[in-house]
Every structure is written in C-alpha cells, then in structure tokens.
A and B are shown apart, each in its own frame.
Chain A
C-alpha cells in the first residue's frame, strides 16, 4: 500500500472515474435512451404522468363481477380502483379489488384467502398468477368453478379493451383446471353468457 506513489493513486482514481462514466454512458445508451424514446414516442400522456408528482387519490371506475342472486351467473358492480399508468399496473389494481372480500350482500366466486401473485400481459392475452388458495379453498362444483374463472376473465376483459383473453396460473404454474372441470390450458376469452 505504502509503496503506491502519488502517480499510482492518480491512475486508480482515473480508472475508477472512467468506469463510472463508462457505465453511466452505457446505461444512458442501452436503457435510458430507449426508455425515453419508447415512452416519449408511443404514449406522450404517460410520459407526462411520469414527470408530474404522483396523485395518491387518482382513481378510475372499474366493473367487478359477483355472484347473482340465484347463484348461476355474474353481475357487474362498479367499483373505484386505483389508476394504473400502464396496462399491467391497471390490471393488477383491478384484480386486487376483484379478489378482495366484498362487502355484504355481494358474494365473490373467488375463494377467500386467494392472493394475486403476478400479472403478465403479452399481446392481447393476460396471465393472472393466483395463490394456491384458489384451488384448496374451492367448493369444487363445475358451476362455481366457471364462476371463479369467469370472474377473473371478465374483470380483465371488461375493463381493459386491449386484453381479449385471460389465462389463470396457480402458484406460478400452468394448471389443467381449478377444480377438475374448466380447461385452463390456454387463455380464455370472456363468455358474455355468464354476465347478467
């Protein structure tokens, strides 16, 4: 250590500075500029939102789906949910509200205790990853299973026009079905028959 002279220290300092400046430039070139380009180029409104201070109270109205009086369909109910800047954030906000236990007299077809693990959107399909409670807490009948499935599918497709089909995953994995009836091996489009 002591043998390192002043010139040595200077060389190290220059090298460090060079590394910092280099990585900064690299970040700007490969991450910053494309991000700025993408956000600035395709959706200027979102870019403006990013620059403004966050508004904690900003909400949108979303239609959520609950079990009808006779138990054989879904009825849409308007709820305020937090605004999401992009489709994934918005989908997440809607699903959090759909999964949350509703206030009386609404009945949710999604088993209590189910948590939202993740949401992905590719093209026009959304992938909704739910926790295992959606299977273990399910009553098991095909009617209830269809109501659970289409509560999730409808909540996304009715509020986000860019998404036309939804695939439910459980604990991060693709599943055959939730309770042994409804085929979940591919994204399902909304089935308007279920909504009254």
Chain B
C-alpha cells in the first residue's frame, strides 16, 4: 500500500473529507468531546497538517498520511505492517502495542486500529518509531500541536500574566534562548522572535484595563492587544542559562504615574539583549530576605513587636516600591511566616542570579538606651588566606572560547563581593542619614551566616532596636516603615547608577 502526496489540493480535500467521516464514525464508537486539533508538521520544506482522531482518549494518526509526510513505504504481509525508510524498518501488528523499530522493541500506548479501510496508529508512533529510523531529528510537541522535523529553531515559549498595582506584567520565557523584537502598531504590541516557528500555548487572558488579549500574528510573532488604560510599556531581557527571560510591563500613560516615567516606546525596538554567556551590568533582580520566620521569632520588643513580623512587613513594602518605581524583579526569601534555612535564602538568590541580596533584621541591646539603624557586611576569619588562593582557572565556555573563572568554596562565595557590599552599605547609611536614626556605629563587619554564600553584593540591614521602647513604637508605624523603604530604594538607585556608569560590573 502506498500513499499519495498530500501536497495536491484534491488529495488533501479527499483526505479531509475521509477524516471528517472517520471522526464521526469514531465518535459513535465511544469518544467524547470535540474532535482534536490536528498536528502541524514543520520542516525546511514548509508546513503541512496531519489530521488527528481520538479514540478513548488516545490520539491516532493515519499511517498512510504519516508515510506520505516522511516518505516511508508501507507493506502489509499476513497481518503485520512493515514500514521502511532507507533500509531501516518498523514492524507492527494490530494485535499488540509492541513494535519492532530497527530491530529494537518499543511500546506504544495503544494498539493500531483499523478504521474505514485505513490503519490508524497512536501519535506516539511518530516520536517513538519514526524518529528512530528517520534521517533528520523528529520532535513531537503535543501541547503546541507541533511535529518539528530537522534542525529548525522552534523555541518553547511560556507566558504568564501577572497584575501589578498599576499595570500588567507579562513574563515570557524562551527555551532555548531566542532574540525577541518588540514593536508597537496601533492598538497592539508585536513580539517577534528570531526563530522558524514557536512552540507556544497562549494563556487565557481576562480582558482588562491594560491587556485585552493575546493572539498569534504569524508563525513567529505574538500580538498583545492593548486595553484602554495602556499608556506605555517597559521591558527587560535577561539571558539565563538555557533560556531568555523577558519581562514586559504594560503601564498607564505617564501622567497617571507619579514616579519616574518609563522611556517612551520607539518602535520597532530591538531589545537590549546581551550576548549569550555575557553578564549584565545593570541592576535587574534584587533578593529581599525578611529575617527569621516561623518558630524562629527573632528578637521581641517590650510591647510585643516581633522581629519576624517587622522584617516581613518592611520586606513587602520594599518589594512593591522596587517593582513599581524601578521595575526590578524582586525575589522574596519568604513571603509568609515560615522558617527558611540560611542556605535556602542565599540559594534562591544565587540560582536566580540576583544582582543584590538585602537581609532585613532588627536589633537588641542589653542597654535600653541603644537605638538607631546599622548596616552590616560579611567578614571571614580566614579572608586574607582565601583571597590569596583565589587564582583564576581557565575553562572552555559554551559556544567556543575560553574564560577565566575564580573558584571559591560555596560557603565563602561572598568573599569576592566584599568591596561592592561595602559600597552598597555606605550608600545605605548615607541615604538613611537625616531620615532614619543611625546607630553610633552604623557600619560594621561580622561573620554573618546568612550572607556567607551570597554570590552577589550582600548587606544585612538592622532597622533599629526592639530593646528600645521608643524605637519599637516608631518601627511599628506606617510612616517610619515608608521612610525606611524609601531611603533603601534611593540607595539602590545610587548603587545601580554607580554600577552602570563607572564599572562594567564584575559579575
């Protein structure tokens, strides 16, 4: 049995008609719901569709259609089908789920089914059997209804929609890394990717003020339909290990925002995309560590204010302000009252390649008069010795070339960042001066457990003394917390500007 080419319109029409009949026949056999969407087969030759039918929750494709697409020859002999391609063969029968592929046994989720004179095989036949004997790579992506043949660039795109206090955030991840281009055309933004196709399932969107919906414009572009409140957008792109991470904020018109207006969009705009493996130099991601939590209450004031509650309240305020005013990505080591180990706090920050780690605490003193904020950075007992042994090791990097890296024990990672942490600590103290009362010794170094493994500039901020009754009352007020958070954000802005202006960033 040989199958005709599907490229001819008449054949395609007939096949389609046959399939409609088949699906309705199969529907009577016991399947429920709408007929499944067909698969799109992408190759260098173009796009073809492959009809899919569903029997008892299992998706099937017609063997003759698959054979036509992949130029396979099919021969039937005493109940067994032999499918061959360039001397390699697949043997399968309708009475078992096992098939022989180039002499090796594979299993299919269901037996092949005979229907209307055609043989239907489970869709997994493509990935498990055909892929093994075919010349080019065959990749079945069921969620996106795609079969990718050959070396095409078809990144997986995941999109999540979050609401901001004023605006809407789209977080788009592309695996493997893929360069995006963003442009505004009338009532929508077009997000175009440098790829052959996209493996994407668009999330359902509830139409709202900033975002009306998401849609496919073509094979490599997504349309973002804007809502009536939309005024401008702000975007940032990060190249992480194996993916591109794009954050796109849809914001109100500049008149609606009190803080610094985002840059006006200038379509079409190639996004600021660093080369793969190159580090970014500006401040994008900040980790806020609310000290203590869960059974570890930290210090307790005389009127009952607990350190773990205070640090979480301030952390939440700081997060909101950093996201809204600076558009930063903010990671919280905890956003509820729970215990988090020291190592998990820094691991979150390290694994997400945060640019800063900010640990919030409140102090106590045995002398009730002590009051004021201070900023602490790491000290290591054997710091001088560790620094002396920091010799660069040359390693090959992905994509070719060599790179010098310094190898540091993970529990001493902070050693490499002590100078930058010191710079940040100084900026925070300067920003506090005149606004937030300072301790008599506002800058200090100590062997701090939570900062030791932070692979980025890291400071521990003591907001004030809970052992001082007056200060405890002050720390609990909205006004004071707002002032502290404002001062911290100002310090981070100075740190960011110093980073992008002076040094290229040694991260």
Interface size, A (range): 20 to 34
Indicate which residue in A143, A147, A181, A189 contacts B381 across the interface (CB closer than 8 Å).
A189
Interface string of B423-460 (1 = CB under 8 A from A): 00000000000000001110000111110100000001
Give the docked Cα–Cα distance between A69 and B465 (Å): 16
Q: Does B369 interact with chain A (Cβ within 8 Å)? A: yes
B359 to chain A, nearest CB (A): 9
Binds A, one of B105-113, B136-144, B295-303: B295-303
Q: Does A177 contact B (CB under 8 A)?
A: yes
Instruction: Annotate B269-307 by CB proximity to A: 1 below 8 A, 0 otherwise.
Output: 000000000000000000000011000111110000001
B42 close to A (CB within 8 Å): no
Interface string of A119-153 (1 = CB under 8 A from B): 00000000000000000000111111011000000
- B residues in contact with A177, CB < 8 Å: 449
Chain A residues closer than 8 Å to B134, beta-carbon distance: none
Q: Is A61 part of the contact surface with B, judged by Cβ < 8 Å? A: no
Tell which of B57-65, B186-194, B360-368, B492-500 binds the partner.
B360-368
| Contact mask for chain A residues 140-168; partner B; CB cutoff 8 A; 1 contact, 0 none | 11111011000000000000000001000
Q: Which of A140, A179, A188 counts the most B-chain CB atoms under 10 A from its CB?
A: A140
A71-B365, A180-B298, A181-B361 known; A140+B449 contact, CB < 8 A = no
Q: Bound complex: CA of A185 vs CA of B342, how far in Å?
A: 12
- Tell me whether A186 is interfacial, beta carbon within 8 Å: yes
Which of B366, B369, B411, B440 makes the CB contact (< 8 A) with A185?
Answer: B411
Query: Which of chain A's residues has its CB closest to B297's CB?
Result: A140
Q: Which B residues, 370 to 391, have Cβ-Cβ distances below 8 Å to chain A?
A: 370, 376, 379, 381-382
Counting contact residues on chain B (CB < 8 A from A), the size range is: 35 or more
Complex: A71 Cα to B441 Cα, angstroms: 11
User: Per a CB cutoff under 8 Å, which of B291, B369, B411, B446 touches A180?
Assistant: B291
Is A174 an interface residue, CB under 8 A from the partner?
A: no
**Interface mask (B388-405 → A, CB under 8 Å = 1, otherwise 0):** 000000000000000000
Interface pair B367/A67, CB less than 8 Å apart: yes
A183 within 8 A of B: yes
| Residue among A72, A143, A182 with most chain B CB within 10 A | A143
Whether A139 lies near B467 (C-beta < 8 A) is yes
* Among candidates A71, A140, A144, A182, residue contacting B447 with C-beta atoms closer than 8 Å: A182
Output the least CB separation between B255 and chain A (Å). 45
Residue of A70, A142, A191 touching B460 (CB-CB under 8 A):
A142
Assess the A183–B447 pair: CB atoms within 8 A: yes
Are A70 and B465 touching (Cβ within 8 A)?
no
Q: Decide if B462 is an interface residue (CB 8 Å cutoff).
A: yes
* Complex contacts, A72 vs chain B, CB 8 Å: 365, 370, 439-441
Instruction: State how many angstroms separate the Cβ of A44 from the closest Cβ of chain B.
Output: 35
What is the chain A residue whose CB lies nearest that of B462?
A142
**Bound-state Cα–Cα, A177 to B466, Å:** 20
Q: Which of B369, B449, B462 is close to A183, meaning CB atoms less than 8 Å apart?
A: B449
Additional A-B contacts beyond A140-B297, A179-B298 (10; CB < 8 A): A69-B367, A70-B367, A71-B369, A140-B299, A141-B467, A144-B365, A180-B291, A181-B448, A183-B448, A188-B447
Interface residues of B (CB under 8 A from A): 291-292, 296-300, 307, 342, 361-367, 369-370, 376, 379, 381-382, 411, 439-441, 446-450, 452, 460, 462, 465-467
6 inter-chain pairs at a CB distance below 8 angstroms, sorted by A residue, are A67-B367, A71-B365, A139-B366, A139-B467, A140-B299, A141-B466
Q: Which 8 A-B pairs have the closest CB atoms?
A: A141-B364, A71-B367, A140-B299, A183-B449, A71-B365, A141-B363, A139-B364, A183-B447
